[in-house]
Amino acid sequence: MHGHSDVVIAGGGPVGAALALALADSGLSVQVLEARTDLARPAWTRTLALSYGSRLILDRLGVWQKLQDVSPIRHIHVSQRDSLGQTVLHAEEEQVPELGYVVDYGELDAVLHAALQDGPVRVVTGARVTGSGSMAGYGWAHVGDDQTLVTARLLAIADGGSGGGRRVLRDYGQHALLAWVRPAELRQDWAFERFTGQGPVALLPQGDGNALVWTGTPERVQELLRLSDAEFLSALHAHFGDRTGGFVQVRERHHFPLQLSDSAETVQPHRVMIGNAAHVLHPVAGQGFNLGLRDAWELAQLASECARDDLGSPAMLARYAKRRAVDVRASMWFTDGLVRLFSRDDPLLRHARGAGLMALQQLPAVRHFVARRMMFGARAW
Ligand SMILES: Cc1cc2nc3c(=O)[nH]c(=O)nc-3n(C[C@H](O)[C@H](O)[C@H](O)COP(=O)(O)OP(=O)(O)OC[C@H]3O[C@@H](n4cnc5c(N)ncnc54)[C@H](O)[C@@H]3O)c2cc1C
């Protein structure tokens, strides 16, 4: 471990590793401090829906082609239980080859680290950051039990939020149940987002089946986890409806609590939070990693372009915060708004939402706006 580098990245998950890779050719000395001792064991078991915009970034980082297990999304079907309204987004209509992709978190993490392996970036494993802050001209981090001091002109915290200092903006009182399921009738390249009074349920294409994200109260999710496979499949069929002719197989059920939170202090002189360290969203529209990847990309662009003396300065990080503000706020507002709007089981509201989905289906310009936001985020400049 080096005592000082131009850039230190605390946390080598997919966002931290993407930032490191984006800086690899910048001429800056870059060091990643990752708590895991074994990079072959990912921090999480989950599937990620990537937007087309994220694919373009991963392409530029030279890792997109390395991913083996990619399931494309060419159509997104949005509907509401017990109501007629529905909207369908098509890649063809948006003039892109795909609207998005489903990849495995562990595989993405692994290809990013493989790409870092032979380059100039130093990745230190077993390096848990226990504290960090900023002082005149530097960001600092304490590492490990012996509190080794590491400093940088720019300290980027990408620890997924494990370092604390979080503000819970909304506790949804919901858990997400994640699993892989095989539907009776597989619709290749289709993703389904279905809103129900108990919370949204999403089916994403994954290999020869679907990644399932089923949200509900913690009690309901615990009940669902206890069901036998056959009972679970029939409960899912009843909840999701007939669009895939039911379900025939389930594996890997696990769950996760859902909150909207952000960091109380995203930017300090010479220290910045990115990815889930800066903001944690509800997974309803699969936006979290996509937003974090855009954080990493923008920060790398600014760090590569600025004079060395300006690296991590209040002025440079103010430019970063300004560039990211609209996208971050719009993504938080969009996912939070969706969950709140669609989670109330009020008959009048249900009809209004159904009419809204029908209107969206009839208005290509509005559909196009929503699709672009989901693929590329919102830009401030
Ligand atoms: C149920 C669920 C489904 C989701 N689905 C999607 C989706 O479909 N699409 C999408 O875009 N996003 C999705 N997300 C969000 C996505 O998982 C996160 O946005 C993404 O993982 C954030 O990446 P990260 O690198 O910021 O943090 P993490 O993935 O949490 O990685 C943090 C890294 O930092 C390391 N670390 C932690 N603490 C320390 C420390 N103290 N010192 C050093 N290293 C440390 C960890 O070992 C890890 O490697 C989902 C989230 C959930 C909960």
pLDDT of 153-167, one tens digit each?
Answer: 999 999 999 987 789
Most confidently modeled range among 57-71, 155-169, 362-376: 57-71
Hey, what are 353's tokens?
């939402």
List, in sequence order, every residue forming a beta bridge with 141; answer none if it has no partner: 132, 150
Residue 97 pLDDT more than 60?
Answer: yes
Measured by CA distance, the residue closest to atom 11 of ligand 1 is: 289
Q: Which of 289, 293, 294 to mutate to test the pocket of ligand 1 (most atoms within 8 A of CB)?
A: 289
Indicate the pLDDT class of residue 54, thresholds 50, 70 and 90.
very high
Sheet strands (E) in the chain: 4-10, 30-33, 47-51, 71-73, 75-80, 86-90, 100-104, 122-124, 129-135, 138-143, 148-157, 166-183, 190-196, 199-206, 209-216, 247-263, 267-268, 271-273, 279-280
Measured by CA distance, the residue closest to atom 27 of ligand 1 is: 160
Report, as an integer, the average pLDDT of 75-84: 81
User: How far does the centroid of ligand 1 lie from the alpha carbon of residue 14, in Å?
Assistant: 7
d(CA 343, CA 80): 10
User: How far does the centroid of ligand 1 lie from the alpha carbon of residue 13, in Å?
Assistant: 6
d(CA 226, CA 246): 20
Number of Cβ atoms within 10 Å of the Cβ of 58: 25
Task: Determine if ligand 1 sits within 6 Å of the CB of residue 53.
Answer: no
Residues in the chain: 381
**Residues contacting residue 55 through CB under 8 Å, at least 6 positions apart:** 64, 98, 100, 101
d(CA 174, CA 332): 17
Give the pLDDT of residue 81.
Answer: 75
Please tell me which residue, 381 or 313, carries the higher pLDDT value: 313
Measured by CA distance, the residue closest to atom 33 of ligand 1 is: 13
Give the pLDDT of residue 378.
Answer: 64
Task: Determine if ligand 1 sits within 6 Å of the CB of residue 43.
Answer: yes
Give the pLDDT of residue 364.
Answer: 77
Mean pLDDT check: name the lowest of 10-24, 270-284, 289-303: 270-284
Residue 284 pLDDT more than 80?
Answer: no
Long-range contact set of residues 145-151: C-beta below 8 Å, sequence gap at least 24? 148/1, 149/3, 150/1, 150/2, 150/3, 150/4, 150/5, 150/8, 150/31, 150/33, 151/3, 151/4, 151/8
DSSP string, 342-380: HH---HHHHHHHHHHHHHHHH-HHHHHHHHHHHHH----
Indicate the pLDDT class of residue 317, thresholds 50, 70 and 90.
very high
d(CA 14, CA 26): 19
Indicate the pLDDT class of residue 381, thresholds 50, 70 and 90.
very low
d(CA 187, CA 191): 9
Distances (CA, A) of 104 to 35, 108, 155, 180: 21, 6, 28, 12
Measured by CA distance, the residue closest to atom 15 of ligand 1 is: 288
Hey, what are 208's tokens?
């020869």
Residue 193 pLDDT more than 90?
Answer: no
Enter the pTM of the model: 0.91
Do the Cβ atoms of 373 and 99 come closer than 8 Å? no
What's CA 135's distance to the chain center, in Å?
31
Indicate the pLDDT class of residue 229, thresholds 50, 70 and 90.
very high
Indicate the pLDDT class of residue 352, thresholds 50, 70 and 90.
confident
Give the pLDDT of residue 89.
Answer: 87
Residue 151 pLDDT more than 70?
Answer: yes
**What average pLDDT does the structure give for the chain?**
90
Residue 376 pLDDT more than 90?
Answer: no
Domains of the chain by residue range: 4-69+104-167+260-341
Q: Which of 99, 143, 276 to mutate to test the pocket of ligand 1 (most atoms within 8 A of CB)?
A: 276
Report, as an integer, the average pLDDT of 290-295: 96
Indicate the pLDDT class of residue 380, thresholds 50, 70 and 90.
very low
Task: Determine if ligand 1 sits within 6 Å of the CB of residue 256.
Answer: yes
Report, as an integer, the average pLDDT of 195-208: 86
Domain 4-69+104-167+260-341 has CATH 3.50.50.60: yes
Residue 291 pLDDT more than 50?
Answer: yes
Do the Cβ atoms of 200 and 77 come closer than 8 Å? no
Task: Determine if ligand 1 sits within 6 Å of the CB of residue 109.
Answer: no
Please tell me which residue, 377 or 184, carries the higher pLDDT value: 184
Give the pLDDT of residue 344.
Answer: 67
Mean pLDDT check: name the lowest of 14-18, 173-177, 180-184, 321-325: 173-177
